[in-house]
Structure 1
Amino acid sequence: MTRKIEIVEVGPRDGLQNDPVLMPTDVKIEFVERLIDAGVKRMEAASFVHPKLVPAMADSAEVMQRVPRVDGVKYIGLALNEKGMRRALDSRCDEVNYVMVASPGFGLKNQNATPQQTADLFDQIAVLAHDDGVPVSVTVSVAFGDPFDGEVDPKTLGELAGRAKAAGAVEFALGDTIGVADPWAVRRALDIVKAQSGDMRIRMHFHNTRNTAMANIYAAIEAGVDVIDASVGGIGGCPFAPAATGNVATEDVVYMLDRAGIETGLDLDKLIETAKWLETDGLKHPVESALSKAGGFAQV
């Protein structure tokens, strides 16, 4: 049986949140429509954080009002606290993704909370999503390294996975916020997280800051992970992490998986078209992905 990998498209949220261009709402909707046309079934579309901190996401409620409600397409909203959770639910997000943090240095600067405090808060607010019948997932930021504290003990990831499971999360993601992970660190972390995750799905979120994202995805898939975050064009980065450049590009990931005979349900040509559209019309600046420049398999 052919293996299937789910790609969660994060371009409309994580891809845009740190871009120097503030994409207008109308253009964001076109971006979402292009992604749906390329076969995307699950995407981050909104972030319910304070608009002064992340101006690019200030129109998230309006975006969620206007996105196409297509059968089988799920929209994820990001929340960091109770207010964000309530706004995401009020905006009819199909799923809410809450952020825990793996290290106190980054956590205190980003969410004004330590790892344990972010887990404690999730205990308190996850019930809001449960009451509304909305799935809630958890992403752990700086899972492989903190720009302020350095290395992260993978035992912390296991502890947070256990807390997320106990509070009712359906999925647990490891976020390489500053792009320092390597394939061996990925395997070590997954061994520990799997022991605590029970029936929660595990998702991986890699930034390609140090050109290791594709190798890390390979390692994660070989370890049994079947949900991967990616961003068309490789756009994005964390506004709170110094020098944290973009996400791994969706089209680059899909090309690799296509060559392996792994199904994603995504149209590579349309993803490449969307990356080029970002360069010419959407963001009007170059994007980082390789496939947007080289195209698919070379034709003689």
Structure 2
Amino acid sequence: MTTEQELPRSLNNVKHVILILSGKGGVGKSSVTTQTALTLVNKGYNVGVLDIDLTGPSLPRMFGVETKQVHQSTQGWIPVQVYDKKKTTSGGSLKLMSLGFLIGDRGNSVVWRGPKKTAMIKQFLKDVVWSTNEPLDYLLIDTPPGTSDEHIAIAEELRYVPQLDGAIIVTTPQLVATSDVKKEINFCHKVNFKILGIVENMSGFICPHCSECTNIFSSGGGLNLANQLGLNYLGNLPIDPNFVELIELQNNEQDDKTLIKLYDKSELKPIMNDIIDKVLTLDHAPRTIS
């Protein structure tokens, strides 16, 4: 039986929650989260991103807001406004909350035991003020790899949240990655997280000179896994060195140099757009709470 106090209060004004999960580190999960956020903003949605990868909070860097700070209000933490809806052609907006804003120098390491990590994640899920006026359409939660204490804390906090649409699972084509992803999928089944589908990242390499795609890590591992387990296959994303360059070139002080504007020219944009279209057409019926 769901009670009001069991629901994280920060989600009261959030319509949809999507987890970005992977069973293995180094599969480009934060890159997929970044592109998912940009794509949703380009579709006109108000988007929030919660970075709870406590040992590697890279999203402030990805969005070019490392020097920004979160603020404390009487209601809770105010996330960093990456893009205001007045400054996007679509009318979408983007907010970001990350441990990276709280540790100062990104070279600092976070050496915490499980209970402290769990407490921080619970605070992130309860005390961030995503919206006080217009509802947040989508909240993306970028998680650490694996099925550790952080994931158990996430499951405990979100198990009764009806806005949770489910999880996007990120893998790479190699067998070692897809084997680890099976563990993540098993975790989702155990905690009653719906799996929206699998994305195969690093599926080929786009040459920056001729735009030809070469399968340097093989291809098809994600599709085979989806077929084997009866899951949706959302698509494959190649490695594009130009996307890394866009991260470095962005400048949020110049309207034509923001990442969302630079991303318009990326080879990845139409590919990611197709992937997100598949996610948005999935049935968002309320989950069965057990």
TM-score (norm: length of structure 1): 0.39
Which of 1 and 2 has higher RCO (CA within 8 Å, sep 6+)?
Answer: 2
After TM superposition, the score normalised by the length of structure 2 is 0.40
Of Structure 1 and Structure 2, which has the larger fraction of its residues in helix? 1
